[in-house]
């Protein structure tokens, strides 16, 4: 009876994960889906604590178990409540790294158990160790790069070094599994060391503009490693959750690579976005840019028929999403059609801009994907760019020597007027000059995004 209740709890947990993931696909149901999946996880956790048996023995040390649960709950809740939207990508990276660390520790514990292990079990342990450690080390480096503590570092011959390390990892896994001879513990711990080194080296040279893809890829690694834990413990919930995270992360990674016109192979060998040498445009004479006043901007937007807002990381830094929504409402009161053009890799993580605007209650229907936004750009009177840079840089289409060449962009120059709000003329996260700022259609509106938007709202209300 106890075993049947446990399996039923696991089934409920697995079903809620699938339901939750499905509901996360739309903002109207995302919050509810998150709560449903969380409820399923709680059921699975407590069923495991009180009902799981192995070799006739149930879990004990409840004091340690519940102390760990309490500490994790308190730390996680406080971190989630206090984190700013600008720091959300680094928190996601750090939490994802903790998942990889858990998979790594599971493999360490299972390897050191005295019972004889079958070849299949050893393979799962070794692969869980390798993938979990890569995810943990890579996520920590990504966290450091996102918050500015770690700078990009390109090692001469880095691609070849990463390839050799990866080949060494595969060789060690084969030896540890026992395909040729029983392996010593030193070889198993060699997997730990090499995987950690690989995780560091493959993330270290990756450029900032490519970081959303890396976060997505590392997330998929953690999911796969968790699925191996599900195999080890014959736990359907771990297996289902790991497969969902791994497959969703992989699909998202492929979609984002396509959106940036990059190769997934280059991500894996550590060259993704790391080539910034000889940035095109650094030696070019760009000419002069022209500024526009708040009053002129307000007049231009008030008498437009169609305005498109392009959000970027600068909007998140200024925490200006609510002011942006207020601008949208004021313009619509004046009969202006307002929409948002969302580039798939705008910000620092997948869906960053969508989450930011959803927080301000911007209707989901107003958020246009890149292809739809580009289709409407030719009929748009005014494009207002708020802190976006690389995703609107024409060098991606026009300059073969640019490190972002080939990346699809929001084609804002098709619009009648382009207004760019930035704090300064400094390059974006990819570290390259944006020729858009010097084009005839473009006007610069300098200042903090939140203050500028609030002033624009005031100006519009007076017209």
Give the model's confidence band at 427: pLDDT under 50 very low, under 70 low, under 90 confident, else very high. low
Give the model's confidence band at 222: pLDDT under 50 very low, under 70 low, under 90 confident, else very high. very high
CB atoms within 10 A of CB 272: 25
Q: Which CATH superfamily is domain 294-462 in?
A: TPP-binding domain (3.40.50.1220)
Q: How many residues does the chain have?
A: 463
Nearest to 384 by CA among 432, 417, 357: 417
Q: What is the pLDDT, as a whole number, of residue 55? A: 64
Q: What is the pLDDT, as a whole number, of residue 272? A: 44
Least confident of 58-62, 231-235, 386-390, 402-406: 402-406
Is pTM beyond 0.85? Reply is no
Nearest-angstrom CA–CA distance, 206 and 441: 33
Q: What is the pLDDT, as a whole number, of residue 181? A: 58
The contacts of residue 460 (CB under 8 Å, 6+ apart) are 298, 301, 302, 327, 330, 331, 334
The contacts of residue 242 (CB under 8 Å, 6+ apart) are 223, 224, 225, 226, 227, 228, 229, 230
- The alpha-helical segments, DSSP class H, found in 149-184 are 158-177
Give the model's confidence band at 170: pLDDT under 50 very low, under 70 low, under 90 confident, else very high. very high
Q: What is the mean pLDDT of residues 82-105?
A: 87
**Active site amino acids:** 390
Nearest-angstrom CA–CA distance, 52 and 335: 62
Q: Where are the domains of the chain?
A: 1-82, 85-275, 294-462
Distances (CA, A) of 25 to 18, 21, 114, 268: 11, 7, 45, 27
- Measured in Å, how far apart are the chain's first and last C-alpha atoms? 73
Q: What are the tokens at 250? A: 């992989």
Nearest-angstrom CA–CA distance, 100 and 314: 31
**Percent residues over pLDDT 90 in the chain:** 52
pLDDT at 28 over 80: no
Q: What is the mean pLDDT of residues 81-100?
A: 85
Q: What is the mean pLDDT of residues 225-246?
A: 92
Q: What is the pLDDT, as a whole number, of residue 73? A: 93
């Amino acid at each position: 009876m106890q075993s049947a209740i446990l399996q039923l709890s696991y089934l409920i947990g697995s079903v809620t994960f699938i339901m939750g993931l499905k509901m996360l696909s739309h903002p109207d149901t995302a919050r509810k889906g998150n709560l449903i999946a969380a409820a399923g996880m709680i059921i699975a956790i407590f069923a495991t604590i009180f009902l799981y048996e192995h070799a006739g023995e149930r879990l004990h040390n409840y004091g340690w178990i519940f102390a760990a649960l309490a500490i994790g709950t308190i730390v996680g809740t406080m971190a989630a409540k206090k984190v700013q939207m600008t720091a959300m990508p680094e928190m996601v990276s750090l939490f994802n790294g903790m998942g990889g660390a858990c998979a790594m520790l599971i493999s360490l514990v299972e390897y050191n158990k005295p019972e004889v292990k079958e070849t299949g079990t050893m393979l799962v342990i070794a692969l869980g160790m390798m993938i979990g450690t890569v995810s943990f080390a890579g996520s920590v480096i990504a966290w450091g790069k996102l918050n500015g503590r770690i700078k990009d570092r390109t090692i001469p011959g880095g691609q070849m070094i990463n390839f050799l390390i990866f080949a060494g990892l595969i060789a060690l896994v084969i030896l540890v599994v026992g395909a040729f001879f029983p392996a010593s513990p030193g070889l198993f711990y060699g997997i730990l060391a090499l995987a950690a080194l690989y995780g560091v080296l493959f993330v270290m040279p990756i450029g900032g503009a490519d970081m959303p893809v890396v976060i997505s890829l590392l997330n998929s690694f953690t999911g796969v490693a968790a699925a191996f834990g599900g195999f080890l413990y014959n736990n359907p919930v771990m297996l289902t959750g790991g497969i969902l995270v791994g497959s969703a992360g992989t699909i998202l990674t492929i979609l984002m690579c396509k959106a940036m016109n990059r190769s997934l192979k280059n991500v894996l060998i550590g060259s993704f976005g790391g080539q910034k040498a000889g940035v095109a445009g650094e030696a070019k004479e760009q000419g002069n840019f022209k500024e526009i006043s708040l009053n002129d901007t307000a007049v231009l937007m008030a008498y437009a028929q169609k305005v498109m807002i392009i959000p970027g990381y600068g909007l998140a830094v200024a925490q200006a999403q609510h002011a942006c929504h207020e601008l949208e409402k004021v313009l619509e009161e004046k009969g202006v059609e307002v929409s948002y053009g969302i580039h798939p890799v705008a910000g620092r993580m997948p869906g960053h801009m969508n989450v930011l605007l959803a927080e301000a209650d911007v209707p989901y229907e107003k958020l246009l994907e890149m292809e739809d936004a580009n289709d409407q750009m030719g009929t748009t009177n005014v494009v207002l760019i708020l802190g976006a840079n690389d995703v609107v840089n024409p060098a991606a289409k026009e300059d073969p020597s640019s490190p972002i060449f080939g990346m699809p962009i929001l084609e804002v120059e098709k619009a009648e007027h382009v207004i760019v709000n930035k704090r300064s003329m400094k390059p974006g996260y990819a570290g390259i000059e944006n020729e858009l700022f010097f084009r005839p259609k473009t006007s610069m509106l300098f200042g903090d995004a939140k203050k500028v938007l609030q002033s624009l709202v005031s100006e519009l209300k007076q017209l």
